[in-house]
Amino acid sequence: MQEYYARLYTKTAPEFYNLVDQNLKNNKRMFIITANPETFTYGTKEEVMHNMLLDKNSTLIPDGIAIVKTARMLKYSLKERITGIDLATHLLEECHKKSYKLALLGAKEEVLSALINVIKTKYPHIKLVKASNGYDTDYTNYFKELTKLQPDAVLVALGIPSQEKLIYEHLPQFNKGIFVGVGGSFDVLSGTKKRAPKLFQKLNLEWLYRLFKEPKRIKRFYNNNIKFVFKIMFMPK
Ligand code: UDP
Atom number of ligand 1 nearest to Cα 158? 14
List, for residues 71-89, the tens digit of each pLDDT value: 999 999 999 999 999 999 9
List, for residues 169-204, the tens digit of each pLDDT value: 999 999 999 999 999 999 999 999 999 999 999 998
Contacts of 122 (CB under 8 A, 6+ apart): 92, 96
Distance CA 87, CA 78 (A): 17
- When pLDDT is cut at 50, 70 and 90, the band that residue 237 belongs to is low
CB of 207 shorter than 6 A to ligand 1: no
The DSSP letter of residue 79 is -
CB of 159 shorter than 6 A to ligand 1: yes
Between the CA of 236 and the centroid of ligand 1 the distance, in Å, is 34
CB of 107 shorter than 6 A to ligand 1: yes
**In this structure, are strands 101-106 and 58-62 parallel, antiparallel, or unpaired?**
unpaired
- Answer yes or no: pTM beyond 0.75: yes
Burial profile 124-137: b = 16 or more Cβ within 10 angstroms, e = fewer: eebebbbbbbbeee
52: part of which helix (H) or strand (E)? helix 47-54
List, for residues 101-128, the tens digit of each pLDDT value: 999 999 999 999 999 999 999 999 999 9
Indicate the number of domains in the chain.
Answer: 1
Full residue range of the structural domain in which residue 91 is found? 2-233
